[in-house]
């Protein structure tokens, strides 16, 4: 067909004209870079970590370890430290001092430190039996009046009749009465009744035939009269501690009048 070459020619011319127009079209440039960004910034340098101070000269060289000396705990005093208190008065003194069955002498008041003492003590030298025999205490104890009264009644009414068949009572071997100390001499323990003049320790008795009966765990004999002596003692005294009670009472008999709650009593003596 005759029109095809003409069509091709027209299309070519049109394309060429549009291409030139596109070539002449100006493409917009991007905005200029800001001045503060145009110059590259130096890299940020983080501050360095500070070094520790130099080690002191006396620590630079390691020293051998030395164990500190061990300080022993303080030893508690034998008697608890406390404010001295006046001993309790004894209403039995007027009666005891005029007694016809006791040989006693009034002594000066005892006021030791730590609560020890006796307001009106007496020295008990002897007890007079029903037949008039004077039985001495060796040594004479310094005690309260009410304890002297109780001891005199026990020896006169109970012990002397119990040993009569074995020869009769002629001497009382005592140990101590008043002594400012703790119970069983244990440091820091409660005050003993001895520290109040309210206790007496009996080592034994001497009979008229010369026989000595010792209150001791290792005694070679236990006479039959020890059993009634124990029964009477536990009825008259609030504390009776003898051989068999504990290690502290293996060689004597402890007697006291300690007042306890609800009238509680202690009677421990292997007298059989």
Digit-coded pLDDT (tens) for 198-209: 999 999 999 999
Give residue 168's pLDDT.
96
Give residue 219's pLDDT.
81
Q: Which fold has domain 100-268?
A: Muramoyl-pentapeptide Carboxypeptidase; domain 2 (3.30.1380)
Whether pLDDT at 110 is above 90: yes
Give residues with Cβ within 8 angstroms of 116, minimum separation 6: 79, 110, 180, 191, 195, 196
The pair of three-digit structure tokens given for residue 175, joined into one six-digit string: 């140990």
Whether pLDDT at 246 is above 70: yes
Work out the average pLDDT over 189-206: 96
Work out the average pLDDT over 118-126: 96
- Residue at token pair 């069509």: 7
> Distance (Å, rounded) from C-alpha 22 to C-alpha 68?
100
Least confident of 22-31, 76-85, 210-219: 76-85
When the pLDDT of each residue in the chain is averaged and rounded to a whole number, the result is 81
Q: How far is CA 121 from CA 66, 74, 79, 141, 189, in A?
A: 58, 35, 21, 10, 24
Percent of the chain's residues with pLDDT above 70: 67
Minimal CA–CA distance to 205: which of 259, 164, 245, 264? 164
CB distance 242 to 268 below 8 Å:
yes
Whether pLDDT at 92 is above 80: yes
């Amino acid at each position: 067909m005759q029109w095809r070459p003409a069509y091709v020619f027209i299309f070519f011319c049109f394309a060429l004209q549009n291409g030139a127009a596109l070539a002449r079209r100006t493409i917009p440039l991007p905005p200029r870079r800001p001045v503060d960004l145009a110059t590259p910034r130096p890299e940020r340098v983080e501050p360095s970590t500070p070094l520790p101070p130099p080690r002191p000269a006396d620590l630079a060289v390691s020293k051998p370890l030395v164990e500190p000396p061990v300080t022993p705990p303080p030893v508690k005093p034998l008697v608890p430290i406390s404010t001295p208190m006046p001993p309790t008065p004894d209403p039995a003194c007027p009666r005891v001092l005029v007694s016809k069955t006791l040989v006693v002498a009034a002594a000066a008041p005892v006021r030791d430190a730590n609560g020890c003492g006796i307001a009106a003590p007496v020295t008990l030298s002897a007890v007079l039996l029903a037949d008039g025999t004077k039985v001495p205490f060796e040594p004479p104890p310094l005690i309260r009046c009410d304890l002297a009264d109780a001891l005199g009644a026990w020896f006169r009414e109970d012990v002397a009749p119990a040993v009569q068949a074995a020869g009769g009572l002629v001497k009382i071997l005592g140990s101590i009465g008043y002594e400012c100390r703790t119970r069983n001499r244990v440091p820091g323990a409660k005050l003993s009744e001895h520290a109040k003049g309210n206790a007496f320790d009996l080592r034994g008795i001497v009979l008229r035939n010369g026989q000595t009966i010792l209150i001791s765990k290792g005694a070679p004999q236990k006479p039959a009269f020890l059993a009634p002596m124990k029964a009477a003692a536990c009825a008259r005294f609030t504390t009776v501690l003898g051989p068999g009670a504990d290690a502290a009472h293996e060689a004597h008999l402890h007697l006291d009048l300690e007042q306890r709650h609800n009238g509680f009593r202690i009677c421990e003596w292997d007298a059989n």
